[in-house]
């Protein structure tokens, strides 16, 4: 947040951890909040917690962490988790040293690569991962062999595997395959999924008899990997944050991206 940024008073309270958004609104209605020494019950009031004195029942509002949003191009061998008891590298290790505590939104398995979003915006994480939002994930999968049209139709219709019904929208990619041996070649598929089940793409491809050799996520909701180098991380733009929050079902009032 910069000094000219202002957010609704209830948003400021909620971000400090005092209460949920609705709980914060009730605290304001009860005349328990003062801004620069003036009690307010105006829920439309916008404030800047960095430059204004906000109190609740006469006590200063706790400082909240600035919200941060990062896109990472994960490489193989990096865990999509906050920490690892065995000391293996994690996606959090690749964030700038100045970054607040962030978590990955969803996961890529150890041998997969590509786009991961990391943030400390809890409501955004919850919204993007909730099944009701149907946020699309797009993957490039290099598979052994050349799947038939019938095999791709099976993926499209849905495949039962270990109690789950897995499905994706597949298409053939123009990326050239490669020779693995005298009789084995690879080809590439683009698969769009709306769920985040464990190893879902690999399980779908195994079910049609075409094991995955390389798996790369290239899109998550409106966020694109584009030309971000392997292992690199970048902060998101305000526009990208707004699009992500919209995909998560959050209202425009919640769009207070801090860069």
Q: Is the Cβ–Cβ distance between 185 and 129 less than 8 Å?
A: no
- Determine if residue 90 is left, alpha or beta; phi over 0 gives left, psi from -120 to 50 gives alpha, anything else beta: beta
Say if CB 8 and CB 43 are below 8 A apart: yes
Regarding beta strands 54-56 and 33-35, do their DSSP bridges make them parallel or antiparallel, or are they unpaired?
antiparallel
Paired tokens of 58: 């006469």
| Contact call for residues 85 and 188 (beta carbons, < 8 A) | no
Other C-beta atoms closer than 10 Å to the C-beta of 93 total 12
How far is residue 94 CA from its own chain's centroid?
16
Q: Does the annotation count 109 as an active-site position?
A: yes
| Identified catalytic residue from 109, 161, 164, 206 | 109
Report the catalytic residues: 109
């Amino acid at each position: 947040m910069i000094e000219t940024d202002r957010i609704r008073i209830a948003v400021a309270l909620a971000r400090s951890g005092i209460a949920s958004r609705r709980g914060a609104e009730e605290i304001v209605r009860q005349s328990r909040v003062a801004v620069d020494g003036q009690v307010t019950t105006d829920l439309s009031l916008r404030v800047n917690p960095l430059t204004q004195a906000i109190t609740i029942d006469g006590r200063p509002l706790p400082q909240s962490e600035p919200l941060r949003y990062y896109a990472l191009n994960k490489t193989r061998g990096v865990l999509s988790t906050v920490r690892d008891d065995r000391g293996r590298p994690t996606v959090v290790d690749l964030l700038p040293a100045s970054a607040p505590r962030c978590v990955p939104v969803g996961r890529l398995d150890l041998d997969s690569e590509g786009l991961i979003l990391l943030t400390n915006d809890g409501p955004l994480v919850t919204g993007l991962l909730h099944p009701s939002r149907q946020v699309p994930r797009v993957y490039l999968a290099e598979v052994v062999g050349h799947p038939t049209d019938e095999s791709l139709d099976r993926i499209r219709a849905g495949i039962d595997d270990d109690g789950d019904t897995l499905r994706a929208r597949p298409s053939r990619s123009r990326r050239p395959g490669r020779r693995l041996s005298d009789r084995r070649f690879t080809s590439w598929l683009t698969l769009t999924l709306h769920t985040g089940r464990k190893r879902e793409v690999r399980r779908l491809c195994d079910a049609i008899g075409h094991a995955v050799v390389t798996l790369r996520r290239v899109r998550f909701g409106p966020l694109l990997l584009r030309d971000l180098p392997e292992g690199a991380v970048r902060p998101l733009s305000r526009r990208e944050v707004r699009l992500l929050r919209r995909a998560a079902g959050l209202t425009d009032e919640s769009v207070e991206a801090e860069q």
